[in-house]
Amino acid sequence: MKRRIAIVAGRRIEVSWSETDTTVEATVDGRTYQLEKRRLRADALWLGREGASVEALITPRDAGYEVAIREHRVFVEFEDSQRKLARHGGAADGLVSVRAPMPGKIVRILQPQDAEVEAQQGIVVMEAMKMQNEIRSPKRGRIVQLNVAEGDAVKLGDLIAQVE
* In the chain, where the domains are located: 2-78, 91-163
- Evaluate whether 6 touches 17 at the Cβ level (below 8 Å): no
* Structural contact between residues 74 and 8, judged by C-beta atoms closer than 8 angstroms: yes
CATH fold of 91-163 reads OB fold (Dihydrolipoamide Acetyltransferase, E2P) (2.40.50)
Backbone torsion region of residue 129, taken as left when φ is above 0, otherwise alpha when ψ lies between -120 and 50, otherwise beta:
left
Q: What is the pLDDT of residues 109-131, one digit of tens each?
A: 999 999 999 988 999 999 987 88
* Residue 88, C-beta contacts closer than 8 angstroms, at least 6 positions apart: none
Contact yes or no for 25/17 (Cβ under 8 A): yes
Decide: helix, strand or coil at residue 81. Answer: helix
Residue 49: how many other CB atoms lie within 10 Å? 12
126 and 106 Cβ atoms separated by less than 8 Å: yes
pLDDT digits (tens, 9 = 90+) for 2-53: 888 888 866 788 999 999 989 999 999 899 999 999 989 888 899 999 999 9
The tens digit of pLDDT for each residue in 76-106 reads 888 765 444 444 444 456 788 888 877 899 9
